Homo-oligomer: A and B are copies of this chain.
Amino acid sequence: MAKVTEEIVKQSAEERLAKYLRTVAHLGHVEITVTNFEASLDFFTDIMGLVVTEIEGDRAYLRAWQDFDHHTLILQASNVSQVKHMAWRVSSDESLKLFEKQLKDMNIDFTWVDGGTKKAIGDAIQFKSPSGLPIELYWEKEKFLTEDLNLISKLPSHPSKFRMHGVSPRRFDHVNLLVDDVKKEQEWWTNLLGIHHRYYIKNQEDVRLGSWLSRTNIAHEVALMRNSNQNGSKFHHLAYYLDSPDELIRAANIMAENEIQIEWGPGKHGTSGAQFIYVFEPSGHRVEIWTGGFLIFSPDWEAIEWESSVGKLGLEMWGSTPPESYFTYGTKIGE
């Protein structure tokens, strides 16, 4: 603690305040392109049970029934399936300017996108991580509002009615990416974006196999896993959250009945304590449906180490073995 305090006193109040303001608040949405737009849209609405906010041109804006924002997932028709942006809301209306300054100081290229250019989003700033992962930061985003009587709930806490069709998760949860150097990438995210390091797995050679990070109290909002093939970054999956293990079993039944391949699961991550299944949507993106696990409240949390002897339990504590594809397959990272 002493060392940290020492560093802090050397900073001016302005510098320290800027550091507080220059953080993300939470993961907002993910924007992906899909080679089979119709089938993917059908998967996310009929099978997954997400709600369509709107479809405009080649894009569909989707959310889970209790996601409060306009969208948490954007599907865009394309001839390639890739992730275009992982978009984070920042912590205050001053944050974007502070991020701009910081990016300049770090010599990182960035692009401003004016408010209104992207549907439901205010001014945004876009840039890439060292491994080429596309990040977007914004402060303003419209809430989900509807005049559709079939969607309006009498409960003020429900931006739309509980959806009684398909998997019907409660909310968007996290994204996961394969990169070649997990440790380097994790440190960059934590330092630049203020996303706390929550837990990690190492192998016997002390190589970081995965790191999980969050700004909020959930176990992670973004995960970085080592690409076993060491052939660059890939989009591993996006995840939505269910309320119970029982709902996860129901989700697995729905997949099995509807020709959606379950890659792995039901299983339980020892790291987070969350139960999961992984499936592939029709355009090739991996989707995780998960539930449970722990929350992290401590303001000085130290990342939990899962060293090699327990790393397998960190991945799956009941004893199943992840398929080879889990460590190598991902969809593309958008240019």
A313 CA to B157 CA in the complex, in Å?
Answer: 11
Contact between chains at A156 and B261 (CB < 8 Å): no
Contact between chains at A217 and B295 (CB < 8 Å): yes
Contact between chains at B253 and A154 (CB < 8 Å): no
Contact between chains at B216 and A155 (CB < 8 Å): no
By a CB distance below 8 angstroms, the chain B residues around A120 are none
Nearest CB in chain B: distance from A287 CB, A: 15
A96 CA to B306 CA in the complex, in Å?
Answer: 34
Contact of A244 among B1, B20, B244, B299 (CB under 8 A): B244
A228 CA to B297 CA in the complex, in Å?
Answer: 33
Name the residue of chain B whose CB is nearest to the CB of A245.
B249
* Residue count of chain A within 8 Å CB distance of chain B: 77
**A155/B20 contact (C-beta < 8 A), A89-B299, A217-B295 known:** no
Contact between chains at A310 and B68 (CB < 8 Å): no
Contact between chains at B246 and A164 (CB < 8 Å): no
Contact between chains at B216 and A164 (CB < 8 Å): no
Contact of A292 among B14, B17, B243, B273 (CB under 8 A): B243
Contact between chains at B272 and A252 (CB < 8 Å): no
In the complex, the count of this chain's copies comes to 4
By a CB distance below 8 angstroms, the chain B residues around A253 are 162, 268, 317-318
Q: Is A121 an interface residue (CB 8 A)?
A: no
Contact between chains at B17 and A13 (CB < 8 Å): yes
Q: Is A294 an interface residue (CB 8 A)?
A: yes
Cβ < 8 Å to B, chain A residues 8-31: 12-14, 16-17, 20, 25-26
A218 CA to B218 CA in the complex, in Å?
Answer: 10
Contact between chains at B268 and A252 (CB < 8 Å): yes
Cβ < 8 Å to B, chain A residues 289-324: 292, 294-295, 297-299, 304-306, 310, 313-314, 317-320
Q: Is A66 an interface residue (CB 8 A)?
A: yes
Which segment, of A53-61, A104-112, A165-173, A186-194, faces chain B? A165-173
By a CB distance below 8 angstroms, the chain B residues around A81 are none
3 nearest A-B residue pairs (beta carbon): A246-B246, A244-B244, A26-B297
A-B contact pairs, 7 of them (CB 8 A): A13-B14, A156-B310, A157-B304, A158-B257, A164-B258, A244-B244, A253-B268
A-B contacts besides A155-B270, A164-B167, A171-B295, 16 pairs, CB < 8 Å: A13-B17, A17-B17, A20-B20, A47-B164, A49-B164, A66-B273, A157-B272, A157-B294, A161-B257, A162-B254, A170-B294, A216-B295, A217-B218, A245-B249, A249-B275, A252-B268
